[in-house]
Amino acid sequence: MKTGNVEIGRRFERFQAACRKAGVKLTHQRLEIFREIAGSSEHPDAETVYRGVRARVPTVSLDTVYRTLWLLDGLGLITTLGPRRESVRFDPNLAHHHHFLCVQCGRAMDFESPDLNALSIPASVKKFGSVLATHVEVRGVCAACAKETVAGRTNVTGRPRRKPSKL
């Protein structure tokens, strides 16, 4: 899975511009960590990124990778898969349904929609494997969090609090 050079270049520009705008420093480590992730269409975890970066910057620390990854996430330069920095959650609702996920507190709400149940998946997906289920994931900020977010701080720092806001 390779990503075109043109696209990678674009991602770098976006990165540098975002750093400037957000007033965060453009360090060697950040550059290399970004390079590591921007160049792949894999969905690496922190450990994997760490291993890759260490090949070029032997002194980086795993926690810098974590901080940078969350920084990039905060800057909107990358996203995460699934629930955000929360552990696995279980869902007893076996009816076909969909989720609204709050990106602040991690809360998940169910909703139903016959239209969405009837989604047709592009044929190209079949080449990945056999399909068991399909659902729509909507991300946003839930009403409760929107209210709390007084001054719109976005915590771009890459230093998350351990429990963002346990439900």
Residues 39 to 58 in contact with DNA, rule: CB under 7 A: 45-47, 57
Question: 28-38 vs 5-22: helix axis angle to the nearest 10?
Answer: 140
Q: Does 12 bind its own copies (CB under 8 A)?
A: no
Q: What is the three-class DSSP state of 100?
A: strand
The nearest distance, CB 67 to DNA, in angstroms, is 5
Q: Does 40 bind its own copies (CB under 8 A)?
A: yes
Residue whose pair of structure tokens reads 């270049």 in the numeric block: 9
From the list 23-31, 52-60, 66-74, 151-159, the region that binds its own copies by CB under 8 A is 66-74
Strand 98-102 to 108-111 pairing: antiparallel
User: Which tokens in the block code for residue 50?
Assistant: 């760490």
Residue whose pair of structure tokens reads 């070029």 in the numeric block: 56
- Report the residue from 19, 53, 60, 69 that binds its own copies according to the rule CB under 8 A: 69
**Cα gap 103→71, rounded to integer Å:** 15
- Return the residues of window 100-129 that contact its own copies according to CB under 8 A: 100-103, 108-111, 113, 115-116, 119-122, 124-125, 127-129
Report how far Cα 42 is from the mean position of its chain's Cα atoms: 13
From the list 16-24, 38-46, 51-59, 151-159, the region that binds its own copies by CB under 8 A is 38-46
- Report the residue from 15, 18, 67, 77 that binds DNA according to the rule CB under 7 A: 67
59 vs 120 by CB, closer to its own copies: 120
- Return the residues of window 92-151 that contact DNA according to CB under 7 A: none
**Cα gap 165→105, rounded to integer Å:** 5
Q: Does 15 bind DNA (CB under 7 A)?
A: no
**Cα gap 72→76, rounded to integer Å:** 6
The nearest distance, CB 119 to DNA, in angstroms, is 29
